[in-house]
Every structure is written in C-alpha cells, then in structure tokens.
Amino acid sequence: MITHAQVEDLGPDDLALMGVPLDLHSSFLQGPAFAPTRIREALHSGAANLTAEDGTDLGMTDRVKDTGDVDVFEQRGPEPIAAIEAGAGSRLDTGARLLSLGGDHSVSFPLIKAHADRHDGLNVLHIDAHPDLYDQQDIGPLGHGCPFARVMETGQVKRLMQVGIRTMNAHQREQAERFGVEVVDMHGWRADLTPEFDGPVYLSLDLDGLDPAFAPGVSHHEPGGLSTREVIDLIARFKGQLVGADIVELNPHRDPYGITAMVAAKFVKEIGARFLR
C-alpha cells in the first residue's frame, strides 16, 4: 500500500502525493475542497488495486508516499495561494516529484509557480474544457478561471499547450494569442495526438476536460469532451520529462456513486506509473 510520510522523509527518487483542499476561488459551486479525501478513498478502495496499465504497482514500491494535505491557511492571511506554493516547494526541495490532488483549478497557479522556480524552461500540458485564461473574474484575479493567465504572466513557462478546450470565448482567445498558447480544441482533437516537449513538463488535469458522461462529478458540465481512455493514452504517450502534475476540479457533491473519484484515482495510478519509469 501507499505509505504515509512526513515531508522530511521524502527522497530524490520518491513520488509525493499532496492534497490541496481549496475551493474558495470557485465561481459557480464549491465542493472541490473535499476532493483529496474522496480520491484517496477511491485509490484504496477494495474495488480496485494500485496497478497501472503498464504493470507498475504503486503499492509494491516504497517510492510513493502520501504526505497528507497542505494546510492552505498556514499563512493565516486572507489569501491561501502562498501556503500552497510553500507546501509544494517544501516537498520539491527534497528532490521528490509531486502529484497534487484536488482543489479547484486556482491551485494550479501556485503549484506551477513552485515547479517553474525549480525547473528552468518548464512546459505545461493542460487538459481541460476551459482555457482558464481570464484576466479577471467576479471573484477576482485568482479565480479558477484565471490560473493560466497568472502562470503565463510570470514569464517562467516556456510553452503552454491546452488540450480538450471547447469553451473559448473572444476574451480568452485574445489572451491565448497574447501569451502564445497552443490550443488543441475538440474540433482539432485526434486520438493519435502526441505532444512533444523539449525539457521538463508539468501536467495539469482538470477533470471537466473529460465528457461528463465519463466524469459527471465536476462543477461545470461541458458536453463533447475527451473519454477516459483518450486521457489515459495521452498521459502515457506525450513526450517529455514529467516533473509535476495535478488533478483538479473533482466535486464530490456532484459525483454519483463516486464515479469521478474512481476516474481520478485511475489517473493517479497512470500518472504515478509515468513518474516511476
């Protein structure tokens, strides 16, 4: 089984799991703060084992360590983004790789920032129904529809590729052009797409990138998306060195029978296997 560990117990060859229980920046519904617990429950459910499709068993190695949830209010200030970046940074500074679970998509900004500070020339592969490139939302510039505008403003990300997009409005199209974002929308999707990256890659996987038939437990249902199989194949196939990843936007309040939590747990295993190669 996956062992629980303190940050100081991590080593350079380890994969650290970290929960991010935050949904304060959700524009429509709250609930993603409960995702880390639900993903862990699915991951350790008696209904499945911890083996990925390539035969990697996350439960038969001492390299996968669950470091618990980051304390999103550790800074005791009005904005928890700094606490997320600090929690990610402390884990990365051990040399471990980091797979973050849960939260709304706003959490990807501090997570990617922590990785970009430690990996020059970072590339980002972003799977989502939404480009999340808004300059502002009603809830402010750190809303879950804004993280990739904030990421690209840092100037630390060499390349951002977005896959599965199907809600691109005029403002976000302008933002994509401004930041030089490569967008593979669902009209341009093909099952044999094989992104190639030169250098380190961070994977940000929003579960609403999948069609709601496969992942109904999300706040924003957007029909016409990717299948579970297509996302699994994309995770296995893209070329580049995976250095970090997140799985976001699971909303347990909308997840009948835990279907989407089990999909998220499946992605944990497939992403974990890619880390452990």
* Planar angle of CA 268, 79, 207, nearest 5 degrees: 25
185 assigned binding-site residue: no
pLDDT of residue 207: 98
The model carries a pTM of 0.97
Contact 211, 170 (CB under 8 A): no
Listed as ranges, residues in the chain with pLDDT below 50 are none
pLDDT of residue 191: 93
208 assigned binding-site residue: yes
CA atoms within 13 A on the CB side of 59: 9
253 assigned binding-site residue: no
Number of folded domains that form the chain: 1
115 assigned binding-site residue: no
Its domain, for residue 210, covers 3-276
Measured between alpha carbons, how far is residue 49 from residues 44, 98, 165 in Å? 7, 21, 32
Q: Which CATH number covers residue 61?
A: 3.40.800.10
pLDDT of residue 75: 60
pLDDT tens per residue, range 38-70: 999 999 998 999 999 999 999 999 999 999 999
105 assigned binding-site residue: yes
25 assigned binding-site residue: no
pLDDT of residue 233: 98
pLDDT of residue 271: 98
